[in-house]
Amino acid sequence: MAKSSSQSLLDRFNNSANALGLVFMLPAAAILLVFLTYPLGLGLWLGLTDTKIGRPGVFIGLENYRSLFNDSVFWLSVFNTIGYTAVASVFKFVLGLILALLLNQNIALKSFMRAIILLPWIVPTTLSAIAFWWMYDSQFSIISWVLVKAGLIDHYIDFLGDRWNARISVVVANIWRGIPFVAISLLAGLQTISPSLYEAATIDGATPWQRFRFITYPLLTPIIAIVMTFSVLFTFTDFQLIYVITRGGPVNATHLMATLSFQRAIPGGQLAEGAAIAMAMVPFLIAAILISFFGLQRRAWQQGSKD
Amino acid sequence: MASVSIEQAQKSFGRTQVIRGVSISIDDGEFCVLVGPSGCGKSTLLRMIAGLEEISGGQIRIGGDVVNDMPPKLRDIAMVFQNYALYPHMTVRDNMAFSLELAKRDRQFIEERVSKAADILGLNDLLQRYPRQLSGGQRQRVAMGRAIVRDPRVFLFDEPLSNLDANLRVQMRTEIKELHQRLKTTSIYVTHDQIEAMTMADKIVVMRDGVVEQIGAPLEIYDNPANQFVAGFIGSPSMNFLPGILRRQSGVAQVEFGEGVTLPVPRAATGEDGQKVIYGTRPEHIDLVDGSDGVPAEVVVVEPTGADTEVFSKIAGIEVTAVFQQRHEFKPGLVIRLRPDANRAFLFDAASGKRLLA
Ligand SMILES: Nc1ncnc2c1ncn2[C@@H]1O[C@H](COP(=O)(O)OP(=O)(O)O)[C@@H](O)[C@H]1O
Ligand SMILES: [Mg+2]
């Protein structure tokens, strides 16, 4: 009797989707806990201590954040990060969308062109960053050389020595690096739009612009929301390009929160302060995710069956 | 409303010619069905009329105007697509109003037109729904509504019923026909389904491999197919074809099939003694006879459909289908005697498939 009741308990467990689901989730949850939560938790903890390299710290509450609040370099990096993200994202979106629309046409060498577009994304970032650094060099810049030879300017441009020149330069490098992701993702989205919709719209009397405005764009918005969320997150947390091209200079003019955090923590040895700067990025990232979460809500027209 | 005339129209995709000199003239208000097997170029021809494909050669006129180089929006046509092509992000109302809004018609005019179309098609309760929230038949109606609101000169339909289940297809067939009787707009309807063609058309155009095989009223084509292809394509179950040799001796004309089986030739048929021919007879024109009349046939399968009985049998080793109104229960292997109606039989040249007719 006892045996059969324990049997049925096991049976019930095996047949309960919820209980089984929980069990199957455990391994994934454990991995998430170890590899995501632990570093995040450690960062959060470090930010609340006065740890330095080679010296374990003690809990000091929000002291690090209080000092950051009065730190003009920190605020400069916040300003830089927001500006860098905003300007680069807008350009990546517009240029990426235009590129995707072009690649969606029946152009010659279509697959070849698509492969070419992906190049900036395939090349390791450090490598392309070094190439940009070289292109922006004050003496050997190919850009300056071409412009001088063409007679458009008479002396070499100081790309990385001037505050705004440096900012524009790194933004351009980031745009170049980020366009393929946007363009190829949007292209995939464009290809899900049935050509017969365009034909129906053509017969309904829509001009090419009206077809874009009333068919393509609304049907693409769910994908635009996803792609731009990722693009914003990548850009906001960018590190490699800046670190290789300017190291945050001149005079912190291009320091982003990520680069400043690293700068303070590792070469500077102030682990706790670096961690606090990194933690300060979290509210911005959460805000970006929330905005896209609401942007990504299934629209009324997406609901219901497909057939 | 307008007539449509197609003169020697041609279309090539690269080097492959898909439409090879097609001429059709469709009268004002006529319901014309283009029918033919899949891949014969029906859709391509329809899309040329719509302006979605360029015309490689020949001319297409709508209401007298040559439209070869006219963009689709100026042709004043409306098209219903096979997959309906409803705008998924627009409500039923917006789908129907889209063309009028692009044309900047005033609000009141748009509302009137949309509600009139919704009345005709029974869509009034669905105007605020999105296409995904509709059933297949409802989507089909919205697609037609989108065409109706424009009150175009010509309706073009590209296999509009092929995504529906069998019952709904029959129902929509009737609805489209009623709609045409009511609106009297010139319509060109593409289908691969000969029953749709027979039931809906004022004029059928049978196509094959980019050429027109025959044009005519449904019954005209059924009674007088121009060749073996048309004869086989129109009619269901399709016509029986028995290959044999024509014999004209001492004033008697008959076709020999081997095993000593012969059948008398239809009176008007031409052809020479010894010519290889195809003898065509429709399943519904074969009688079951007694005694020594007709020819012997060995039963293969009997399929009762309720309304009638289809009997598959072999005459001189050739599969033949016959349809009887009476019910029969023949055992397979039984030899019965069948007599095709000689006056409603057809003779085709075996080599060219052309009808042998004086
Ligand atoms: N855009 C195209 N490019 C190349 N070939 C095509 C194109 N569209 C249709 N075809 C070819 O033209 C022929 C006729 O196609 P279609 O008009 O769609 O046939 P149907 O509608 O009668 O089934 C087919 O062989 C098809 O492969
Ligand atoms: Mg087709």
DSSP assignment of A253-296: TT--HHHHHHHHHTTS--HHHHHHHHHHHHHHHHHHHHHHHHHH
CB environment B330-344: b (16+ within 10 A), e (fewer)? beeeeebbbbbebee
pLDDT at B255: 93
| CA distance linking residue B195 with residue B201, whole number of Å | 10
Listed by number, the residues of chain A in 206-245 with a beta carbon closer than 8 Å to a beta carbon of chain B are 206, 210, 214-215, 218-219
The verdict on a CB contact (< 8 Å) between A205 and B99 is: yes
**Kindly report the CA angle at B246 between B242 and B247, in degrees rounded to 5?**
135
Give the Å distances, CA to CA, from B190 to B169, B223, B310: 14, 22, 29
> Does B38 sit in the ligand 1 pocket, CB within 6 Å?
yes
Nearest CA in chain B to A196: B85
The ipTM assigned to this model is: 0.87
Distance A113 CA to ligand 2 centre (A): 32
The verdict on a CB contact (< 8 Å) between A301 and B136 is: no
Rounded to a whole number, what is the distance in angstroms from the first to the last CA of chain B? 39
Q: Residue B329 burial by CB count (10 A; 0-12/13-18/19+): exposed, middle or buried?
A: exposed
**What would the 3-class secondary structure string for A201-232 be?**
HHHCCCCHHHHHHHHHHHHHHHHHHHHHHHHH
**Kindly report the CA angle at A193 between A188 and A195, in degrees rounded to 5?**
120
User: Residue A9 falls within a domain, yes or no?
Assistant: no
CA distance B276 to chain A (A): 48
The verdict on a CB contact (< 8 Å) between B130 and A196 is: no
Mind listing the pLDDT tens digit of every residue in chain A (307 residues)? Answer: 445 556 677 777 777 777 778 888 899 888 888 888 888 888 899 988 888 888 888 888 888 899 989 999 999 999 999 999 999 999 999 999 999 998 888 777 778 888 888 888 888 888 888 888 888 887 888 887 888 888 888 877 787 788 898 899 899 999 999 999 999 999 999 999 999 999 999 999 999 999 999 999 999 988 998 899 999 999 999 998 899 888 887 888 999 999 999 999 888 888 889 999 999 999 999 998 888 878 777 676 776 554 4
Q: Which residues of B touch A215 (CB under 8 A)?
A: 87
User: Residue A29 falls within a domain, yes or no?
Assistant: no
Atom number, ligand 1, closest to the C-alpha of residue B38? 23
| CA distance linking residue B71 with residue B56, whole number of Å | 15
User: Mutating which of B73, B151, B156 best tests the A interface, going by the most A Cβ atoms within 10 A?
Assistant: B73
Quote the domain boundaries for residue A226. 64-303
User: Residue A54 falls within a domain, yes or no?
Assistant: no
Rounded to a whole number, what is the distance in angstroms from the first to the last CA of chain A? 52
User: Residue A272 falls within a domain, yes or no?
Assistant: yes
User: Residue A109 falls within a domain, yes or no?
Assistant: yes
Q: Which ligand is nearest to the CA of B159?
A: 2
| CA distance linking residue A144 with residue A158, whole number of Å | 9
Q: What is the dihedral of CA B15, B16, B18, B23, to 10 degrees?
A: 50
| CA distance linking residue B261 with residue A249, whole number of Å | 102
Q: How many folded domains does chain A comprise?
A: 1
pLDDT at A7: 66
pLDDT beneath 50, residues of chain B: none
The verdict on a CB contact (< 8 Å) between B73 and A205 is: yes
H-helix or E-strand spanning residue B289: strand B286-289
User: Residue A113 falls within a domain, yes or no?
Assistant: yes
Nearest CA in chain A to B137: A307
User: Residue A52 falls within a domain, yes or no?
Assistant: no
> What tokens were used for B252?
């008697």
Q: Which residues of B touch A218 (CB under 8 A)?
A: 89
Q: Does B137 touch chain A (CB under 8 A)?
A: no
User: Residue A25 falls within a domain, yes or no?
Assistant: no
Contact A231, A89 (CB under 8 A): yes
Contact B196, B172 (CB under 8 A): no
The verdict on a CB contact (< 8 Å) between A306 and B78 is: no
pLDDT at A141: 80
CA nearest to B275, candidates B348, B226, B342, B345: B348
CATH number at residue A136: 1.10.3720.10
Residue ranges of domains in chain B, CATH in brackets: 4-224 (3.40.50.300), 240-349 (2.40.50.140)
Distance of CA B228 to the CA centre of its chain: 16
Residue with CA nearest ligand 1 atom 6: B13
Residue with CA nearest ligand 1 atom 24: B39
The verdict on a CB contact (< 8 Å) between B98 and A204 is: yes
Q: Which residues of B touch A302 (CB under 8 A)?
A: 88, 132
- Report the residue count for chain B: 358
Atom number, ligand 1, closest to the C-alpha of residue B158? 21
Distance B41 CA to ligand 2 centre (A): 7
With tokens 């939560």, the residue in question is A37
Q: Which amino acid is located at B15 in the chain?
A: R
Q: Which residues of A touch B87 (CB under 8 A)?
A: 197, 200-201, 214-215
